[in-house]
Each structure stands twice: as C-alpha cells, then as structure tokens.
Structure 1
C-alpha cells in the first residue's frame, strides 16, 4: 500500500522489513470496497493496522508489525513515540490502561494507572487548612503520581510481545535524537498552557524561544536527554526507570519543585506495579462490549450509557434525530451520576462493579428515561452490592490524554489509552519527559455532607480515571471494533457515541468518530459541540426539556480500528492530527 505523503516526510523506513500480505483463499468473504468518509478521503486498510493521534507514532507502531511484531508490540512502540512527539498529552512520565483481545475473543486488561505517594493524605491538596483551587493544584510536585506506563509496557510485553524489548524503542529513540517537527496542535498547546508547559527550565529550552514564545510550527526539535533516557531503558529494562538514578532524580524533582513541592520517595517509585485486572464485559444488543474496570470509570460508564438505551429504537431514529441525542444525553446523566458516586480504586473502596453493569439494574435506570421529556433531577441509583458509605462528589475538569489502537496479522488487538493528565502534566521534566499531574483526578475536597468520597486521596491509591479503551465483538464472536478516546470526562461519552454510530447507525468507524459530541455529566447542563448539527438542534433539545445547553469548542480526539469483512480499516478523529497506518 502506498504511504501517504505526510508519512513519507516523517517515517524512518531504512532497514524495515515488509511483512507478507495475508491473501484470503478464493472462498473467503471479501470486504466491501471502503466508503469514502464525509471529507471524501478513503480509509486505510490492511491485514494489520495502527491508529494513533500523531502520524509519526502510528508509523512507529506499524514498523513493529512489519517486523513481525504483535499488536501489543505495536502499541508499546506507539506509546514510546508519543512520549517524544506528543509530549503535551502522554508518555513514560504518566500512566494508562491497556485492553487486549486475541482472535478467539479472550480479553485481558492491564492497569498502569499512577499511584499516590505513601505520604499522601485525604487533605493532600490543602494549604493553610483550605483546599487549593483546581488550577492551582496542577503545576508542580503535589499533583505527580508514580508513573505506570513502563511497568504496564513491560508486563504486556512479557505476556504478548514477539519482538525484543530493545526493538520497540528504536523509532522513539530516532525521533528524540534526530528530531521531530512541531505540529500545529503541539504549538497550540504550548501557547495555551505556557504556565505548565514552560514551568521547567528544560522544557522552556526545548520548546520556547528566547522571547518566551513557543517555537514556530515546523521547527525541528531534538531531545537528546529523552533519547538517552529511552536508550537506557531499552538496554536495561523497565526496572531501570523505577530504581537507580532515574528514580532518585524523579523523587528529587517532585520534592524540590518550584511550585507545590511534595514528598515522593524512591521507595514509592520502586514499589509501583502494573496490575492485570478482570475485564468488564457486557452485552449490548447482539454485541459484546469489553473494557477497563476500576480504577477506570470507563467501562462501567460506557456500558451503562449503551445498555440504558437498548430498549429504544436508535437505528430508526438515526443521527439526524434530536430525540436520539436527547436519549443519549439522558442516559449519560444517569451513568455519570453513578460514576461520581461509586467509582474509585477498588483496592481501597468497595466498588459495586457487578451491580453497576447488571442488566436488571440498568433496565430500572432506563425506565427513568422518556423520549418526550427530560428528567428534572438525576440522582445516583442503588446497584446490587452497593454500600452507600460515601458521598457523591462533584465532577472535576480533566484534559489531555491520547488513545491508540493496533491489530496484527493474527487477529490480536490492543486498545491503549495513555495520559499525563493535563496538557504537559505537572510541567516538571525529568530526563526529557514530562511528569504527570494525575493526582488532581482525585477529589481535592475529600468529604461532602459529613461523609468521605470514594475518590479521595490516600497513600498508594490510584485516582479514578475516565479512560475507556474498548473492544467490541460481533455476534460471530470476532472483533468488530477497537476504540478509545482522549478528552477527560468526555471520554466515555465519546466512546459510547461512536459505538452507537457503528452498531446502530451503520456508520463506518471514521464517520462515527466524526459525529458531533453531546456531553451530559450528571447534572442539568448539557454540552454540545460548537459549529455542528448538534448546535443547530439546541431549540429542539430545549423543547424536550433541556433548559441549560452550552455549546463548547471541539477538542476531541478518538482513534479506532474496525473489522469489515476479512480486513481491518483504520479510523482517526478528523478534529485531530491522527492517522491510521498499515504495515
């Protein structure tokens, strides 16, 4: 397959071996010709694929597939490359969740979410007896959790890797050493988030000029410190990140940060473990939906949104119907109310996961939804197994994050969401990579109405996440769709919307991702994407009872791969710089 011109500009192709194509026998079903997207482009397809938010990272993953690597190998190489080229969103200084599935439909999930230092207390973000405003809690050391991405990668590679650990690092090392061009999205982030993006002198030297302004689009940036860090981890393994010089430097950086210094120890870092969790799977119509359980709220929220809509004829309503979007918003309100009440790190609090995904419970929640009216008030339900020992917390803003997916020639899939939380995380840089600000995903105020909240800060705890890497299996038991998104608390809403687009509205994955986003996070406010058909539907939605509707600018970023016939087709959000690449 001919490579797009954008990739020819970035891809280091020398020495790469082309994988042999998988040609189906004459009796095999042939996939229909790919339909052009709304923008007229034709989707990328092949026997294996990688879709990511940056072309250079997607190409790094595709190189692993060409070399005979697995979907897991490709996903790890993509994550490492994104550390270099998309530093505002993800990287080895953060964490993530990985959902993998094999050709037989067996699903596994790995939790690489960051942890709070052991010294952390429920009032971790209090100064002088008062909670810090959310924006003031982000920069500096107090927001940094122990990074999890490299432990996650090592765990996944040991279980499902085919190439050597060192091989996975080579594209990222080349990008860091030889240089990469600043894109429009990166520069926009550098402009908008200069407070955190330029907090560290090393970051200022990389991305800002002597006048204090971000370097222009197209400027080639070389990050030799990151190249050296990656070379060391490639040679010595993930343990070298969590012990020795890197761990000591990381702990010192957090403890001596110019803003909000905090006690993180080398023992905190060395103790970090990625954990294989039980996947959360449920049935939506004739499809099996699988995702990540706690500390992620992704799978429970996505599944609740879908299952609460199952009794409605979404197919007949279609994407042009205001009633369809009204129903989606109402289902979101219920799902997010439960999310805010119950979801947290299940190693610290009892999360009623089975109850939240119980079909009978969700049918009862669905009965609260009307096609012709809006619920005046939405409260959390009482799922089976719930112990209402905690107060419901108000949702907080979240930003940043990236998602990428890979499938290989053997039918294995990897859906991986990675993050450093806000753009440029805490603003602290160690060894050429940014440190996360994940701890602001905890509830800054730990109590409400005299009761603790489930997602309060505790030492060693993992903050609740909205990340929702998802796999969808068809009635034939084969993978139909691998998908995920970025965008903080909007992630479950984006993923559920796209799944409805594919399964109910018969859209391609690309066109389903491109659908406008409606976001109703539990209260009475509904957000619609500005400049889209949803903004034009505001009067119709108001007639259905949605009194408070706000249009918000698009800032969404999703990636997917779908199976059509006997081939894979890639999808990337047209709002992003993302792309799908075939080996």
Structure 2
C-alpha cells in the first residue's frame, strides 16, 4: 500500500525512535498487512474525544509539543502562549454555478478550492461535454483551464486575514468569461499569465510555495442527509519527522512562499507571525436541483488534488460517468508547475497529439487520491481511489 511505498522511500526513518516501529530488525519496512498498535495516539485521541479541543490546546500539551519542536532536527519555537492565542476560523464557502449545479468549496487560505471552481466554470463555458472523455480535445481544454487557474492561484491566494483575496472578482461571471476567451479550441496558449484584477483588490508578485502530495481526504454522507467533505494534511507524509504523544507534527511552513519578496514587493503568501499558509486542498460539495448534496468529493495529493477533483467532477457532471469511472480516469493537469499526463495510461499516449497543438506535456506519476460519493435516484454510490489505498464503505 501507500504507507509501505513511503516507508521504502524513507529508510532513514528507521533510525528515529518514533518511527522505528514501522521497520523490522534489519531496518526494512514491515510487510504490507502488518497490524500495528499506536497506544500513544490512541490515548491522545481518547483525551480529545472526552474533553474536546481543550485537551489539545491545554498548557501541558502545548509544553510537550514546544519541547519536542525545540529538540527537533531543525529546532523551532512554539509556546504555550501560541496555543492559547490560536483561534479556529470559520469561513464562508466559495460557490459558483456550473454544469447546471451549485458547487461549493473551501475559501482561502485554502487555494485549491478556488482553482477547482475556476476550472469548472471555464470548462462549462468551453462546453467540454461536446468532446469524448479521453480525447485529445478534452485533454487540451483540461490543460488550458488548469494553466489559467494555476496562474491565478499562485498570484492571488493567501490568508485573507493579512492580504485581501479577491475571490468574488476571481469567480465573477465577467472575469471568468474573459479568462475563457483566452482558451483557443485548437491551440495551446504559448504563455499563461494571472488575470488582471482591480488594483484595490491586491496585485502582488507570484508565490512559489511548495506543495507536497501527502494529504488525506474523507467524504461522508449519513442517514440523516448530512454531508461532509473533509481534507486534512501534515504536508510531508511524516510532517516534520517529530512525534508527540503519537501525533506527527506538520511541516506546513513550506506552504508559504519560498521567496517572500520578488522585485522588491512582498508576495501575498509571504510568511508572517500568526498567518496561515495557503494549501491546495479542495474539499467540494455539489448541490442538486433539490439543493441537497449530490456529490461529496475531494482528494489528497498536493497540487495534483485540484486537477484530480476537477477531472472527476467533469466525468460525472459533463460526461455522465458514475463516480467510480469518473475517479479512475487517467489523470491530466497542469497545477504542478508543468503540464502532466499520467504515466502508463491512455492519457500519456495523447502526448504527440497535444504537442502538435502547442502543449509541452511530460509523463508523471499522478497518484492524487480522490474519494467521492454521489446521491442519485438509486441511492448513494461511493468510490475510494485505487491510486492509493482508498476504500468506500456503507453501513
């Protein structure tokens, strides 16, 4: 499975006491299917379940985490005062109408959702449903929409508590129409730039934040009609390689811009105290004609989350595929700083035809993992992405 693959790529972890349990006496990853018990994490989760978030933010827990960070391989600083000052922020979701549905996702500093909505709006305007799934024409439109959304995401997404993020303008019909007009039906744009927005809504240099494909997504629909699209991340597969009470601490500072100042200007996603970094997470819910959740979807997998969610939704909304077929499509996208076609699939075979259209695609392992549920006349259907260890379960 995915964990075994990651451990195989990180043999150095066998030398760290907190991760040694994943390896045998010869420092090789334990065989797939081995049952492990993490008593420390079980105790932590039990405390939180019994006492709520206060158990996590409690001074004694903050002290243990602060000590571990200070003693880590790259010593850092986090204090009980930081924990006490932290506040969870609830933000209104972003929504658009596309493919005859209302589609909603998480707002910045989540940046993936903004890019998903932009791409769906562009692909709806370009009537991608005219072209067959797997066709070079469809691949061309997917790549062009991805390139346009990626340019906007890297320039404008940031923590709105620190920098104005013009989400309303970036998702407005007039703006999306102007972006769609930049897509040629038969030829790739030689260069794609961020869109121009009003000066009073922020215009800063482009961020070069790193995004890492180590995220988890859950889609849930219960018997009462409640729906949840939930994405979470510790960034790298083992975060900062620091474990406290069974919890792996994240290294999400790398989601800030690597170069916070470009051409003398501070980028929107520059690091600052108290600031939240952008992420490419894209938890998304599509609402049907009855205004009830019709699709609950999202993915793990770094920047490739965005294209994977878009392509799965295009499969369902534009091509009428069931959720399994939509999720299992060979992947195509351009959110990872390059035009990519999934290695070893029918998508990779489109490369010569796409090059004739002006694209410059490369073959890549695109193992973002989409988890989705649909609600239709026959009830609920779900699918867990085989690109990783996804599973769909009904009770």
TM-score, structure 1 as length reference:
0.66
Task: For 2:263 and 2:161, locate their aligned partners in 1 and report how far apart those are by CA, in whole Å.
Answer: 24
Q: Which residue of 2 aligns with 1:211?
A: 26
CA-CA distance at 1:508 after TM superposition? 0.6
Gaps of at least 5 residues in structure 1 are: 1-183
Q: Which residue of 1 aligns with 2:161?
A: 347
SS of structure 2 residue aligned to 1:362: helix
CA-CA distance at 1:578 after TM superposition? 1.4
- Asked if 1 retains the 8 angstrom alpha-carbon contact of 2:304 and 2:366, the reply is no
Q: Establish whether residue 542 from structure 1 lines up as the match of residue 346 from structure 2.
A: no
Q: Establish whether residue 255 from structure 1 lines up as the match of residue 67 from structure 2.
A: no
Q: Establish whether residue 193 from structure 1 lines up as the match of residue 6 from structure 2.
A: no
Residue range with higher mean Cα deviation, 463-472 or 445-454: 445-454
Task: For 1:501 and 1:511, locate their aligned partners in 2 and report how far apart those are by CA, in whole Å.
Answer: 8
Q: Which residue of 1 aligns with 2:373?
A: 561
Q: Establish whether residue 316 from structure 1 lines up as the match of residue 130 from structure 2.
A: yes
Match of 1:552 among 364, 367, 375: 364
- Asked if 1 retains the 8 angstrom alpha-carbon contact of 2:342 and 2:365, the reply is yes
Q: Which residue of 1 aligns with 2:46?
A: 231
Match of 1:243 among 26, 40, 58: 58
- Asked if 2 retains the 8 angstrom alpha-carbon contact of 1:389 and 1:451, the reply is no
Q: Establish whether residue 202 from structure 1 lines up as the match of residue 38 from structure 2.
A: no
Q: Which residue of 1 aligns with 2:341?
A: 528
Task: For 1:446 and 1:200, locate their aligned partners in 2 and report how far apart those are by CA, in whole Å.
Answer: 32
- Asked if 2 retains the 8 angstrom alpha-carbon contact of 1:529 and 1:551, the reply is yes
Q: Establish whether residue 466 from structure 1 lines up as the match of residue 283 from structure 2.
A: no
Task: For 1:271 and 1:438, locate their aligned partners in 2 and report how far apart those are by CA, in whole Å.
Answer: 19
Q: Which residue of 2 aligns with 1:393?
A: 207
Task: For 1:521 and 1:255, locate their aligned partners in 2 and report how far apart those are by CA, in whole Å.
Answer: 35
- Asked if 1 retains the 8 angstrom alpha-carbon contact of 2:109 and 2:276, the reply is yes
- Asked if 2 retains the 8 angstrom alpha-carbon contact of 1:309 and 1:331, the reply is yes
Task: For 1:529 and 1:299, locate their aligned partners in 2 and report how far apart those are by CA, in whole Å.
Answer: 22
Query: 1:554/1:332 Cα in 2 relative to 1: closer, same or farther (>3 Å)?
Result: closer
- Asked if 1 retains the 8 angstrom alpha-carbon contact of 2:197 and 2:203, the reply is no
Q: Which residue of 2 aligns with 1:514?
A: 328
Task: For 2:119 and 2:50, locate their aligned partners in 1 and report how far apart those are by CA, in whole Å.
Answer: 45
Q: Which residue of 2 aligns with 1:155?
A: none
CA-CA distance at 1:393 after TM superposition? 2.0
CA-CA distance at 1:236 after TM superposition? 2.6
SS of structure 2 residue aligned to 1:267: helix
Task: For 2:180 and 2:366, locate their aligned partners in 1 and report how far apart those are by CA, in whole Å.
Answer: 29
CA-CA distance at 1:522 after TM superposition? 8.0
CA-CA distance at 1:378 after TM superposition? 0.8
Query: What are the within-5 Å matches in structure 2 for residues 150-169 of structure 1?
Result: none
Q: Which residue of 1 aligns with 2:148?
A: 334
CA-CA distance at 1:471 after TM superposition? 0.3
Task: For 1:495 and 1:322, locate their aligned partners in 2 and report how far apart those are by CA, in whole Å.
Answer: 19
Alpha-carbon RMSD across the aligned residues, in angstroms, is: 1.6
Q: Establish whether residue 476 from structure 1 lines up as the match of residue 290 from structure 2.
A: yes
- Asked if 2 retains the 8 angstrom alpha-carbon contact of 1:354 and 1:384, the reply is no
CA-CA distance at 1:300 after TM superposition? 1.3
SS of structure 1 residue aligned to 2:210: coil
Residues 8-31 of structure 1: per-residue CA shift (max 9 Å, x gap): xxxxxxxxxxxxxxxxxxxxxxxx
TM-score, structure 2 as length reference:
0.96
CA-CA distance at 1:389 after TM superposition? 4.2
- Asked if 1 retains the 8 angstrom alpha-carbon contact of 2:119 and 2:146, the reply is yes
- Asked if 1 retains the 8 angstrom alpha-carbon contact of 2:300 and 2:369, the reply is yes
Q: Which residue of 2 aligns with 1:503?
A: 317
Task: For 1:396 and 1:580, locate their aligned partners in 2 and report how far apart those are by CA, in whole Å.
Answer: 30
SS of structure 1 residue aligned to 2:104: strand
Q: Establish whether residue 289 from structure 1 lines up as the match of residue 106 from structure 2.
A: no
CA-CA distance at 1:292 after TM superposition? 0.4
- Asked if 2 retains the 8 angstrom alpha-carbon contact of 1:427 and 1:434, the reply is yes
Task: For 1:320 and 1:574, locate their aligned partners in 2 and report how far apart those are by CA, in whole Å.
Answer: 19
CA-CA distance at 1:213 after TM superposition? 2.0
Residues 169-208 of structure 1: per-residue CA shift (max 9 Å, x gap): xxxxxxxxxxxxxxx321111111344x45742222x212
Q: Higher relative contact order by CA 8 Å / sep ≥ 6: 1 or 2?
A: 1
Q: Which residue of 2 aligns with 1:412?
A: 226
Q: Which residue of 2 aligns with 1:275?
A: 89
Task: For 2:60 and 2:33, locate their aligned partners in 1 and report how far apart those are by CA, in whole Å.
Answer: 34
Query: 1:386/1:188 Cα in 2 relative to 1: closer, same or farther (>3 Å)?
Result: farther
- Asked if 1 retains the 8 angstrom alpha-carbon contact of 2:306 and 2:335, the reply is no
- Asked if 2 retains the 8 angstrom alpha-carbon contact of 1:309 and 1:327, the reply is yes
Query: What are the within-5 Å matches in structure 2 for residues 351-370 of structure 1?
Result: 351-370=165-184
CA-CA distance at 1:274 after TM superposition? 1.7
CA-CA distance at 1:563 after TM superposition? 0.6
SS of structure 1 residue aligned to 2:339: strand
Q: Establish whether residue 431 from structure 1 lines up as the match of residue 245 from structure 2.
A: yes
Task: For 2:276 and 2:15, locate their aligned partners in 1 and report how far apart those are by CA, in whole Å.
Answer: 25
Gaps of at least 5 residues in structure 2 are: none
CA-CA distance at 1:532 after TM superposition? 0.9
